[in-house]
Amino acid sequence: MTATPFEQLGGDAKLRALVERFYALMDSEPGFRGIRKLHPPTLEGSTDKLYMFLSGWMGGPQLYVQKVGPPMLRARHLPFPIAEAERDQWLACMNRAMQECEVPELLRLQLMGAFQKTADWMRNQPG
C-alpha cells in the first residue's frame, strides 16, 4: 500500500510545522506582502484552517470537513482579489516553506504540481 502524502510528510506534527513556517514567511518577507494583505491582522485562524484543510487534502484526517464542512475553496476565496501575482506569491511562499521544513524533494515536487493547479484555479482577477 502506498503511503499518502500526509504520511510521506511525517504526519500531523510535520504538517503543522510546515503550515506555521508558511505563515511565518508570509508575515515576515516583503516579497509576500501581496498575499499577506489578503489575510486578517492575526494569522492564527488562517494557520488553523490551512492546517486542517491540508490534513485531509494530503490523505490524513479530514479535520476541515469535520469542523467547517466542505472546503468549497473557490467560493471561500472569491471575496479576495487573486490574480497571477497573488497565485505566484502563494506558490513561492509554500515552496520555500517546504524547502525550509526539509520536505523530501520528490514529495515537494508532487505537492507543488498539485498546488499549482489549485492556485491557478483560485484566480478570480485578470493578469
Q: Are 87 and 122 in contact (CB under 8 A)?
A: yes
Share of the chain above pLDDT 90, in %: 97
Q: Which three cell numbers stand for residue 51?
A: 492546517
- Find the length of the chain: 127
pLDDT higher than 90, residue 101: yes
User: Is the pTM higher than 0.75?
Assistant: yes
Q: Which three cell numbers stand for residue 48?
A: 488553523
Share of the chain above pLDDT 70, in %: 100
E strands present in 13-92: none
Domains and CATH numbers, the chain: 5-122 (1.10.490.10)
pLDDT higher than 80, residue 1: no
Distances in whole angstroms, Cα of residue 27 to Cα of each of 3, 12, 48: 32, 23, 15
Q: Which residues touch 33 (CB under 8 Å, ≥6 apart)? A: none
Question: What is the predicted pLDDT for the residue at 64?
Answer: 97
Over residues 4-22, the pLDDT tens digits come to 999 999 999 999 999 999 9
